[in-house]
Amino acid sequence: MTDLRYRLLGLAAGVLGSGIAAAGDVDHRQALELRRSGVILPLETMLATVQDRYPESTVVEVELEQEARGFIYDIEIFNAAGELRELELDARTGEILQDALED
């Protein structure tokens, strides 16, 4: 894993561990338990998927949310072109469900 990925993991862990939870957001304690029980994939797996799609990206924000369709990682990045993108990934399978340009 590259130094960039470690920095991204640190940023994302800080965001998930911030303790700020809105409706539907999963806090860091819940996320850890879900991961340990095998319900969701590790955040590292999600970040690797995003990094594969956007190799020169910078993670801006990471949230784990519980929605009617299941647990969703919501990851915002700046890509190499400087565009702000929001990706939604299925936390159970790692599948990219949405990849949209943010306004």
Give pLDDT tens digits for 16-70. Answer: 444 444 448 899 999 999 999 999 999 999 999 999 999 999 999 999 999 999 9
Per the listing, tokens 């790692």 go with: 94
| Dihedral sign, Cα of residue 96, residue 48, residue 86, residue 62 | positive
Could you tell me the pLDDT band of residue 1, with boundaries at 50, 70 and 90?
Answer: very low
pLDDT of residue 30: 94
pLDDT of residue 21: 43
CATH number of residue 39's parent domain: 3.10.450
Distance CA 77, CA 10 (A): 14
- pTM for the model stands at 0.76
Letter for the amino acid at 83?
E
Count the domains in the chain: 1
Q: Domain limits at 26?
A: 3-101
